Structure 1
């Protein structure tokens, strides 16, 4: 018995596929085919090759297939019964009474002048031939036959007009707001004055920065130095922007 954990179990093993035996073929297959063709009945499904044509004299006549019954003997006349009594089983109704209306002619005229019967709209959903009415199925687009088909509804027109009005009012409001907050362009003199003022401020901050002590040993001196450096950087940035751009706009507050 080999142990469950072994080095030999790590090696891949080839799986041997079982070899199928060759398919069996009978040696009498050809002889069986010949016997079947020889003993095959001719005209078994399609009928005889020639069919006797019926003569035109042997046509189907009216009431020829109805059963004939022997004639009944005349029954004795029964005594008259009162008008309200129930008639007997042997009593016969009075025959030969004709009405003024000729139903045969009227039916013939109605059949000639009448419109042909329209076939029902049906659909088949299975191969067995199950039929269903098409008009009540919801598959026929009846909405296309409506009078207002293709006409834009009134509420859609009203809503579109309201949206246009709201859009126009919004655009007018935006234009008024832009006109109020329109930006003002600086003239050359104002630009030069602004640039000179920034440079003077930078000189003041730089002069104050030069008067700082060489040794910064306290926290207060350190913070004061950082503040001056930030002011100088901001002023340098503003001076550089104004010197690069000749046209400057200022927003109205």
Structure 2
């Protein structure tokens, strides 16, 4: 069968769908609706609380004769001839027109030349755009003085040079059979002496205050002597340059042989 795309029905325009106009709700309607929702929610909560333990009472499941589906109850309600309410919440209101009648032809008698002269006489000159007088650099604060950072740098260099000179003098000293103590060895010895001093001081602090026995007196004197000797040794090792003899001294060797 022959099929043509042309038809009479294409010339006829389809009818426009009618959209029902629903006016915006007023503040009172919104408030009443919210109150109804809150009331319904409270009633449901109270009903559930009443049936929270033993179930709902007998007869509550019986259908009501009044709550039944009515005809056209779910269809949208169309209000014909309703006036659209305009929202004027965000509109800025203009001021009212003046009620007094304006006067026309009023002339202001004013001597502008005299007024301008009085303003110029009583006004102060504006010197912001005037060229400023240059300041002399020799009159500034801190002129012809050494800056702080240069003075600090010079002190650091002087201290470093003095330290290097002392080390060089110690290295070039004419003492035969001596050597300079290594820095790592010096720090290790000093740390060991400090640990020994802390251990002995703890023992000394744990002694009893009452010295009623001769042995306690001798032990206290021995602790005090050892502590003072350790403090002297730590002070000696705290120096920057320490010379150590390669050979064992005669007194130490004699004490070792005995």
Pick the TM interval, shorter chain. under 0.3
Which structure has the greater CA radius of gyration? 1
Which has the larger share of helix? 2
TM-score (norm: length of structure 1): 0.27
